[in-house]
Amino acid sequence: MNTKKATPKTAKRPLKAKNSSPKKTPLAKKPPPQKTRRDFLILASGAAGAVGAGSFLYPFISSMSPAADVAAAAEVEVDIKSLQVGQAITVMWRGKPIFIRRRTPEEIKSVQETDVTAFIDPELDKDRIQKPEWLIVIGVCTHLGCVPSGQKPTDTRGKYGGWFCPCHGSVYDVSGRVRKGPAPKNLYVPPYIFVDDTTLRIGQEATVNV
């Protein structure tokens, strides 16, 4: 008589492969330093939409790889009233980090007065913003897709005070314009509107150029 017990079918399950995002992975031979993938302040994610800048002390995330639920939000509203002059925050929109920086008067003067003729991707600051104090750009390097550093005051920001991409050394100014390659293009500006003086809606095209 066979007394062997049957093995439960659920005893072994294959481990799930780690979620990865091929589009976000730079093609560099060496992986970017961990710093570029860390310490981002996430203010908004998922379909919930509205968030407050006052909550920007938490949570931190350890990876910039977007989760599926984060990538789904078509529009994200951000309350920016708590953001002080000189501060920057990062929100997620469609799986991409969006850099929001409240620029200082000195920064605004600097980017407005610079002659862009010899720039890699010549573009006037006024064509990239809706209100001089607020710069909103997609925080993805236009070379191979790394996330540049510069959102925190302690980050390396490069010679022009904007962002520095440590993957291959691209440097961006406070208008998000590339000032040193190999990045070929300025940081892209996402569609957005000001719902009111202290609320941004990212994902909606502005109907009027201010």
Q: Exactly one of 141, 174, 178, 193 binds ligand FES (CB under 6 A); which one?
A: 141
143 belongs to the binding site for ligand FES (CB under 6 A): yes
CA 107/CA 65 separation, integer angstroms: 31
Q: Exactly one of 51, 89, 165, 200 binds ligand FES (CB under 6 A); which one?
A: 165
186 belongs to the binding site for ligand FES (CB under 6 A): no
Q: Provide the minimum distance between the beta carbon of 95 and ligand FES in the complex, in angstroms, as a whole number.
A: 17
168 counts as catalytic = yes
Nearer to ligand FES, 35 or 131 (CB): 35
Query: Near ligand FES by CB under 6 A, which window of 63-71, 167-175, 190-198, 202-210?
Result: 167-175
Could you tell me how many residues of this chain bind ligand FES (CB under 6 A)?
A: 13
SS (H, E, C) the chain: CCCCCCCCCCCCCCCCCCCCCHHHCCCCCCCCCHHHHCCEEECCCHHHCCEEHHHCCCCEECCCCCCHHHHCCCCEEEECCCCCCCCEEEEEECCEEEEEEECCHHHHHHHHHCCCCCCCCCCCHHHCCCECCEEEEECCCCCCCCCCECCCCCCCCCCCEEEEECCCCEEEECCCCEEECCCCCCCCCCCEEEEECCEEEECCCCCCCC
Q: Exactly one of 70, 167, 187, 202 binds ligand FES (CB under 6 A); which one?
A: 167
138 belongs to the binding site for ligand FES (CB under 6 A): no
List the interface residues with ligand FES, window 17-36 (CB under 6 A). 26
178 belongs to the binding site for ligand FES (CB under 6 A): no
The residues binding ligand FES (CB under 6 A) are 26, 141, 143-146, 165, 167-170, 182-183
